[in-house]
Structure 1
Amino acid sequence: MYNLDPVTIAIIAANVIMSLKGFDDRLFFEKYKFNVGSIRRGEQIRMFSSGFLHVDTKHLLFNMITLFFFAHTVIRELGNINFITIYIASLVFGNLLSLYFHKDEFWYSAVGASGAVTGVLYAAILIEPSLRINFIPGYIFGVGYLLYSIYGMKNRIGNIGHDAHFGGAVGGYAVTLILVPSLFKTDLGHVGLLAIPIIILFVLYKRGKLN
């Protein structure tokens, strides 16, 4: 579970290099961070580049350590190409959800690999239902984490991109099920449990209760 695969090393290196550059070069950071106004003006590169920037060393370390713990599970079961697909899809989907929920807040900005990492975490939980996180069953942790993300989105708790975390998890969930449709037969119960927060978010949104 804790093997450091070459593709994981490459992704961590990209995050470290981009983040360190951003720490030292404010113009670089501002040019490539997620910013609603800039994206709506056509700077779509920010939807991708912002996922490799971080606010500070603590933020960077937390995301990379989490990636280190769960990347190998996905790579072992699905291979490098599918892992990269899940990582990028989760990153972009997390930013798409952020863009959707903040589309009229032109000042809104964010950075971090949290969406991508959360997608990898959710993929690992789907692939290995017996996975435990701090002694908590992975699927229980996954459901709890997304319910907290909904709470954070609704109440705007802290300087945290809860919507990007949620969107990343949904991206990891959806892409994993597309890549491994057999999970609907072998682990339908876990698939259904992990879908509960997604359904709750949809219902809350339709009822206008996320604002």
Structure 2
Amino acid sequence: MYNLHIATIAIMAANVLVSLRGFSDITFFERYKFSISGIRAGQRERTVTSGFLHVDISHLFLNMFTLYFFANVVINWFGPGKFLIIYFISLIAGSLLALFFHKNEPHYSAVGASGAVIGILYAAILLRPDMQLGIMFIPIPLPAYVLGIAYLLYSIYGMKSRHGNIGHTAHFGGAIGGYVTTLLFKPDLFVTDTLIVILLAIPIIILFVLEKMGKI
């Protein structure tokens, strides 16, 4: 059995409890979701509270299922304290990037732990680049860093095309948060896994180059 650390259980419990409240109380949901207009009005707590709300059970399950698989990789390397720091920095980074890219869209809103969870996923990839991950429709597992890079490139595409009802910007921001914080905690990765560090940085550089060029 895959043993969960109490820190992971606490994060999961918070997501479940807040999401269940949001499912049954639309006023609560609207008050604490990520909202450009709400944040502009001074409700900055939305940048954090939105990360514990979800649209429905399947949205909640997918995020918690992903966290279930990768939380222990980070905890085993860094301990629960730094795991929680990476989680919350990734959550906030996702919100801040969404705020930056959508600042002129007062009706833009989003919910979900995806930014924080993807931050943990990217931390795990940096720490264990040898991991093999499976994906639907591809019969063989692929190196984790390949899927990580591919996902960020897909997120850039999603941000450009507004493809699907998905918070691509928050996902990308969460990945940046997990990437940067992991390197701050373990700077020797620049030496021991230089190629992986560079490869994972490429989509981040592409995003900001495109933004500077006005392409996103």
TM-score range, shorter chain: over 0.9
Deviations 1:84-135 (A, max 9, x none): 0000000000000001111011111100000000000000000011111111
Deviation at 1:21, TM superposition (A): 0.3
Equivalent residues of 1:2, 1:72 under 8 A apart: no
1:166 aligns with 2:172: yes
Displacement over 4 Å in runs of 4+? none
Corresponding residue for residue 145 of structure 1: 151
User: Take 2:56 and 2:99, find their aligned partners in 1: how far apart are those partners?
Assistant: 23
Shift of 1:202: 1.2
Asked if residue 46 in structure 1 is aligned to residue 38 in structure 2, the reply is no
Report the Cα distance in structure 2 between the residues aligned to 1:3 and 1:143, rounded to whole angstroms. Answer: 29
Counterpart code for 1:198: I
- Overall identity of the aligned pairs, in %: 61
Q: Which residue does 2:191 correspond to in 1?
A: 185
Are the structure 2 counterparts of residues 54 and 124 from structure 1 closer, same or farther at C-alpha, using a change threshold of 3 Å? same
1:26-70 per-position Cα deviation (integer Å, ceiling 9, x unaligned): 111011000000101100110000000000000000000000000
Structure 1, unaligned runs of 5 or more: none
Post-superposition shift, 1:203? 1.0
Given residue 30 of structure 1, which amino acid in structure 2 is its aligned partner? E
CA contact (8 A) 1:2 1:70 kept: no
Task: Describe how 1:9-20 pairs up with structure 2 within 5 A.
Answer: 9-20=9-20
The equivalent of 2:101 in structure 1 is 101
Distance 1:172 1:115 in 2: 9
The whole-number CA distance in structure 2 between the counterparts of 1:32 and 1:42 is 12
Distance 1:158 1:199 in 2: 24
Query: What whole-Å deviation, never above 9, does each CA across 1:134-188 have from its counterpart, x for those lacking one?
Result: 1110100100000000000000000000000000000000000000001001000
1:108-119 residue pairs with structure 2 within 5 A?
108-119=108-119
**SS, match of residue 125 in structure 2:** helix
In 2, the alpha carbon distance for the partners of 1:2 and 1:45 equals: 33
Query: Displacement of 1:3 after TM fit?
Result: 2.9
The answer to whether the aligner puts 1:60 opposite 2:66 as a matched pair is no
Query: Is the Cα–Cα contact under 8 Å of residues 16 and 60 in structure 1 kept in the other structure?
Result: yes
Which residue of the partner structure matches residue 203 of structure 1?
209
Q: What is the letter of the counterpart of residue 150 of structure 2?
A: G
The equivalent residue for 2:29 is: 29
The amino acid across from 1:51 in the alignment is G
What is the rounded CA distance, in whole Å, between the counterparts of 1:199 and 1:25 in structure 2?
40
Query: RMSD of aligned C-alpha atoms?
Result: 0.9
Cα shift at 1:2:
4.0
Alignment check: 8 A CA contact 1:93 1:171 kept? yes
Secondary structure in 1 matching 2:164: coil
Say whether the 8 Å CA contact 1:93–1:168 is kept in structure 2: yes
Aligned counterpart, 1:125? 125
Q: Quick one: distance in 2 between partners of 1:2 and 1:193?
A: 30
What is the number of residues matched between the two proteins?
Answer: 210
Q: Distance in 2 between matches of 1:6 and 1:106?
A: 38
